[in-house]
Amino acid sequence: GLLGRLNINVDKFISGMATIESGYRADLPYHNSIHAADVLHCMNYLVNKPAMRCLFSDLEIFAIYVAAMIHDFEHPGVNNNFLIASSDRKALLYNDKSVLENHHCAAAFEVLSRPQCAFLSTLDRADYKSVREAIVEMVLATDLSQHFSVLSMFKKKTLSADTFDPLGAREDRLLLMQMLMKCADVANPTKEWPLYKEWTDRIIEEWYCQGDREKALGLPISPFMNRDGPNAANPASSQTGFINFIVAPLYDAFGAWTDLSEIRSTLEQNKARWAATSGGPASSASSASTSASSGSDSDSPKNRPRRKSGANTGTSTG
């Protein structure tokens, strides 16, 4: 298998991943270990598309899987804006820049440096540097405040200049990894309706919990996070905006480079269902876009199965 080909110590890998899993909070509706597993599943699906698998080495596939597993490690259930507005120590530590994403990476690599979890220690210096770079780039790309810059770069390379060469250029391969992570992280609206709706309910509850905390602290309540607001019972507006401004452009750009027709078809069906629910096209899409881009760490729904006893259930917006 993959671990054997890379000479990864299986016991240390299991110990490391078990410790990472325990760092996802079971009390969170959305950003929990189920979400991490869901993103890992999505990454595996995407990376095994026929046009994709031949581009990556075993080492890069391994980095992709690890990045998915750690990408929301120790998520607190609030977004970057909340941490910054409340002067949280993490915001002070990371100077208000990709606060959660930096923490996910730093905290996870601290775990993976512990002797019983150090499965990366068997890699030589060059391979370790390569894996670490790829993981950090992918996790930082999940900050939605960086969404448009990453998407614009990908579109420029693949659609305009036709200079995209992921097989021959590591820079382009890293950009492709970032796109894979972004697509997996915001994949909820591409899932069949029952699963998508479950994730939507979960992220909305997590948003409302953040709104409750903002209210208690006397902070402005973030868009879509007021459980007492006029549209609290109807998520169609926020979800349509999220699809129109974040998910659809991302999958359109990626789908122009490799076939994602089945996924994009389901996305359009879900978009139409929200429109029917609201009686027409959502009117506050721009607000949803603003909320998503300012609420980094993917503040939009993700695919999630039902909560099981003892399972971590954290939520992210994407």
- What span, in angstroms and rounded, lies between the C-alpha atoms of 246 and 241? 8
Q: What is the pTM of this model?
A: 0.88
> Can you give the pLDDT at residue 161?
72
C-alpha atoms less than 13 angstroms from C-alpha of 101 in its C-beta half-sphere: 27
Residue carrying structure tokens 């999630």: 304
* CA 86/CA 81 separation, integer angstroms: 8
Maximum C-alpha span of the chain: 58
3-state secondary structure of 138: helix
- Of the residues 31, 71, 103, 147, only one is catalytic, namely 31
| CA angle in degrees (0–180, nearest 5) for 297-301-307 | 105
Cα end-to-end span (Å), the chain: 31
> Per the structure block, which two tokens stand in for 267?
């996305």
SS3 at position 59: helix
pLDDT of residue 234: 85
pLDDT on residue 279: 62
Backbone angles phi, psi at 282, to 5 degrees: -60, 140
CB of 8 closer than 8 Å to CB of 294 = no
Structure tokens at 211: 């709104």
Distance CA 267, CA 9 (A): 40
How is residue 1 written in tokens? 């298998």
Asked whether 74 and 110 are in contact (CB, 8 A), the reply is: no
Residue with tokens 């309706």: 193
pLDDT value at position 277? 84
Per-residue pLDDT of the chain (318 residues; tens, 9 = 90+): 999 999 999 999 999 999 999 999 999 999 999 999 999 999 999 999 988 989 999 999 999 999 999 999 999 999 999 999 999 999 999 999 999 999 999 999 999 999 999 999 999 999 999 999 999 999 999 999 999 999 999 999 998 777 899 999 999 999 999 999 999 999 999 999 999 999 999 999 999 999 999 999 999 999 999 999 888 878 998 999 999 999 999 999 999 999 999 999 999 999 999 999 876 544 344 444 434 443 444 443 333 333 333 333 233 344
Q: What is the pLDDT of residue 70?
A: 98
Is 147 assigned a catalytic role? no
The pLDDT value recorded for residue 145 is 94
Helices of type H across the chain: 2-5, 10-22, 33-47, 50-53, 58-70, 80-85, 89-93, 99-111, 125-140, 147-155, 170-185, 193-217, 236-242, 248-255, 261-278, 285-294
pLDDT at 280: 54
